[in-house]
Structure 1
Amino acid sequence: MKLAIVTNILTPYRIPLFAAMAGQVDRLTVLLMAEREENRQWELGAIPFEVQVLPGFHLRPRRADVSIHLNYGVIRALRRLNPDVVLSGGFAAANVAAFVYCRLFGKKYVAWTHLTLQDGAESSRLRRWIRHFVIGSAHGSIAESSVAREAFVHYGAPPRRVLRAVMPFDVSRIHEQTDAVRRSSGYQAFRSRYPGVVLLSIGQLIARKGCREMLEIYRRTAQVRPDVSLVMLGDGPERASLERMVDEQRIPHVFFEGYVQSEDLPQYLACADLFVFHTLYDAFGLVLSEAMAASLPVVSSVHAAATRDLIKEGVTGVSIDPHAAAASAETIVKLLDLPRRDLVGMGRAGYEHVRAFDAVPSAARIVEFMRSLMGRSDWLPMVEGQEGNP
């Protein structure tokens, strides 16, 4: 099977998945709409599979975080590659062109994206129509959360042609590297930078991520537990105002560490005692998965799609509504007051839960699903909740 993937940019967390998929097909080519988005700072290093950047124009509307990609030559590129299946991530111009290619040349089109019924497309009749038409006509769909699966079905995907593959990532690498940091000779020196019990936050410093809400939650937590500190990883346009908030309200022990590359993330995960995901909206929320891979006990916002799939209340973590600062702080304090063995057990349960979403087994399941659409597999999509379609 020859596979082409059409997506906006290449991200660090996709590389292990695509590499694993490349080892299971005859040829894999990733077609990118751009090399990088303006709001991303990661460094990718060597890429172990074929990547092509599509030609196009990139227009950034006022106040938008990223550009709109208007790519051309998509059909020409796909004709040259002649894939059996096109896995298409989104509904941009290049994705629609890939859909047209599949219809014209009898190829299998599989829709795959972070999809919710709360994103901006719901306010646009045209964008809703495109989603209904493309998803309803696709040969299959891959949903990376229960929320996304519901959205695919809402837009016309037959339920038995939707594979729920909770967002795959390199679970093993994060777990092993974080454990290695904890055992390293330099661990204590790095950990000593932060006093007391460390709460960890990871994400862009933008309004949607709930950073101001997190500072208010932390302020209330610190009033009850003055032994805590807050480490915030990430950068963005709100950083200066957040630092002013900390200074003006004299919130103690808050550390803004800026953007951290993925290879440096394990040392911060290793130092944390509790991870808090305080987003006000996320179509998934991979940072929650990464914290759980590091065996951290986690507190997660009800406004992240990942929470429904990853949080078993009181077992793999707990959920909060960041808009409710007092209740959220109370939840965190109750967790911190638990015996150490209970917190360790919660972190271990979280890790065991996300192991199922490791890149290698996820790639095998996704490839097998696409083979089934070509009639080359005995795989049958299962109804939600059954074993085999986690």
Structure 2
Amino acid sequence: MNPSSLTDRTRVALVTNMLPPYRIGFYNEIARHVDLTVVLDTLSEFNRGWQASADGHRFRTVIQNCRSFIYKRHREDVHYTEPRQFHFSEKTYGVLSAADPQVVVTAEYGFRTLWSLLYGWLHRVPVLVYSEGTCHTEGHVGLFKRLVRQLIVSRTARFWSNGPESSRLLESYGAASSEIDEGMTGIDTLEWQADVTHWRERRDETRMELGLKGRVFLFSGSLSARKGVLQMAEAVEAVAREPDCPEFSILALGDGEHRAKLEEWAAKNPGIRVVMPGFVQHHELPRYFAAADWAMLPTLDDNWPLATLETLVAGLPQLFSMYNGASADLCLPDTGLLFDPLDPENFRAILSAALRSPLERVPEERILQFSIHYSAASQGQRAAASIKAALARPRD
């Protein structure tokens, strides 16, 4: 196929594990450029609380309902263990054969990608790998896994990455920088910004309803060891003990394995105002972001958490974890402060500095810059350009 002939009839299959609501805008924008089928292992995984639907989108959805099992991932270097779901994706080749795509985009390095590469080899179809891992989150693998990933990379036409951190991992597996397309992440930024602006008009009402006082620090994510919530509790308690500590509140959105521990900690520290509404559906989050002054995500292990982008687009300065793959892209002097959540003194000092700093929102021009770059429309344009480039690549 001539790459200049890329149209809304060019058949593209995107193979991934599930359908989170924050990806739908991106997939809809890709579907403006091509005939898109999204192939899912499952609609949602065991530890996801969002309401997912496969209907009402510009793209078709095929749910494989693959076999899966729960395993525990151990990260001794950053001190956490977390249950995860592994999918066998044994149906992928058959689904691709039925869909007959002219380009396949596949996520990460598991069975779905091996099946995708087999399909691409047999049908002479370019395969792109969508890799979000970083050298911190995925770089410490055994020799066998590394050899498999190097083989996958050697047979891939192009690569999608979130940004420089995930690009570095790809390059460590042998990918050429000229074949990596960055910025393949984001949200419906303009809609998100409009929703937050709407709720800012009722900010005082929301804060009163939730019992928030003083400077409000927002946490949005799973209440799990990986997200650093226990380190957050320790730092908050240390700041609260400081002389002449200004009034502040913690607004923790989400649910997870450490919710009970945080509730117990809050009960033992009645002088610290902690509000925990529980899990909040994605479309309801802007109300809470509008009520906050700062945000923090003390993650110990994250590829590119979209809560970081949501915070920036909402205009909130934030504390950026050095283990957050998005920090390399989004942490600037006017967007927040970088810190190490595994260093208790550094965490306390940076939180104290944010609490005592002049209260300023992220500048509007910075919000606009990132809102445009990480919008679903911009992602879709980058994806279309990458697909064109893959089609132009000479076949082996």
Report the TM-score, using the length of structure 2 for normalisation.
Answer: 0.88
Tell me if structure 1 keeps the 8 A contact 2:131–2:170. Answer: no
SS of match in other structure, 1:65: strand
Corresponding residue number in structure 1 for 2:342: 323
- Among 307, 325, 345, which residue is 1:305 paired with? 325
Alpha carbons 2:18, 2:44 under 8 Å: kept? yes
Larger displacement relative to structure 2 (163-172 or 81-90) = 163-172
**Equivalents in 2 of 1:212, 1:360: separation in Å?**
37
Q: Tell me if the contact between 2:246 and 2:355 (Cα under 8 Å) persists in the aligned partners.
A: no
Query: Could you tell me which residue of structure 2 aligns to residue 189 of structure 1?
Result: 205
The question of whether the paired residues in 1 share the 8 Å contact of 2:161 and 2:184 is answered with yes
Residues 350, 317 of structure 1: alpha-carbon distance in 2 compared, 3 angstrom cutoff: farther
Aligned to 2:307: 287
Q: How far 1:4 moved relative to its partner? A: 0.3
Structure 1 unmatched runs, 5+ = 377-390
* Secondary structure, counterpart of 2:326 in structure 1: helix
The equivalent of 1:19 in structure 2 is 28
Contact 1:296 1:347 (C-alpha < 8 Å) held by counterparts: no
Q: Kindly tell me: are residues 51 and 12 of structure 1, through their superposed partners in 2, closer, same or farther at Cα, counting changes over 3 Å?
A: same
Q: Secondary structure at the match of 1:67?
A: strand
Query: Within the alignment, does 1:8 sit opposite 2:13 as a pair?
Result: no
User: Corresponding residue for 1:388?
Assistant: none
Q: Structure 2 counterpart of 1:9, which letter?
A: M
Following TM superposition, by how much is the alpha carbon of 1:59 offset from its aligned partner in structure 2, in angstroms?
1.9
Amino acid at match of 2:169: A
Q: Which runs of 5+ in 2 are unaligned?
A: 1-9, 74-81
Q: How far 1:55 moved relative to its partner?
A: 4.3
2:283 matched to which residue of 1?
263
Partner of 1:23, secondary structure, is helix
d(CA) in 2 for partners of 1:251, 1:69: 45
Partner of 1:353: 370
Query: Quick check: 1:80 aligned with 2:111?
Result: no
Shift of 1:335: 3.0
Q: CA RMSD in A?
A: 1.9
Distance in 2, matches of 1:347 and 1:198, equals 21
CA separation in 2, counterparts of 1:61 and 1:279? 21
Indicate conservation of the 8 Å contact 1:293/1:355, yes or no.
Answer: no
1:33 paired with 2:41, answer yes
1:236 aligns with 2:260: no
Q: Aligned partners of 2:104, 2:250: CA distance in 1, in Å?
A: 44
How far the C-alpha of 1:201 sits from its partner, in A, is 0.5
Give the Cα separation in 2 of the matches to 1:83 and 1:347.
Answer: 42
Counterpart for residue 7 of structure 2: none
Structure 2 counterpart of 1:272, one-letter code: A
Q: Match of 1:189, as an amino acid?
A: E
Q: Does 2:52 match 1:44?
A: yes
Does residue 1:61 correspond to 2:71, yes or no? yes
How far 1:371 sits from its partner (Å)?
0.5
CA contact (8 A) 2:139 2:169 kept: no
Separation (CA, whole Å) in 2 of partners of 1:58 and 1:130: 21
Does structure 1 residue 213 correspond to structure 2 residue 231? yes
CA contact (8 A) 2:186 2:309 kept: no
Distance in 2 between the 1:256 and 1:181 partners? 19
The corresponding residue for 1:125 is 143
Displacement of 1:331 in angstroms is: 2.3
In structure 2, do the counterparts of structure 1 residues 122 and 335 end up closer, same or farther at CA, with 3 Å as the change threshold? closer
Residue from 366, 369, 383 that aligns with 1:366:
383
Distance 1:114 1:372 in 2: 20
Any conservation in 1 of the 2:128–2:157 contact (CA below 8 Å)?
A: yes
Partner of 1:102: 120
- Provide, for residues 153-196 of structure 1, a one-character-per-residue CA deviation record: whole Å limited to 9, x for no partner: 11111111111115221111110000011124xx4322112111
Letter in 2 for 1:316: T
CA distance in 1, matches of 2:205, 2:345: 34
Query: How many corresponding residue pairs?
Result: 370
Distance in 1 (alpha carbons) for counterparts of 2:215 and 2:367: 20
What percent of counterpart residues are identical? 24
Q: Distance in 1 between matches of 2:365 and 2:385?
A: 30
CA pair 347-259 structure 1, distance change in 2 beyond 3 A: farther
Aligned equivalents of 1:203, 1:30: Cα separation in 2: 26
Whether contact under 8 Å (2:67, 2:88) holds in the other structure is yes
Q: Deviations over 1:229-273 (max 9, x none)?
A: 001111111111122222234451011221110111000000000
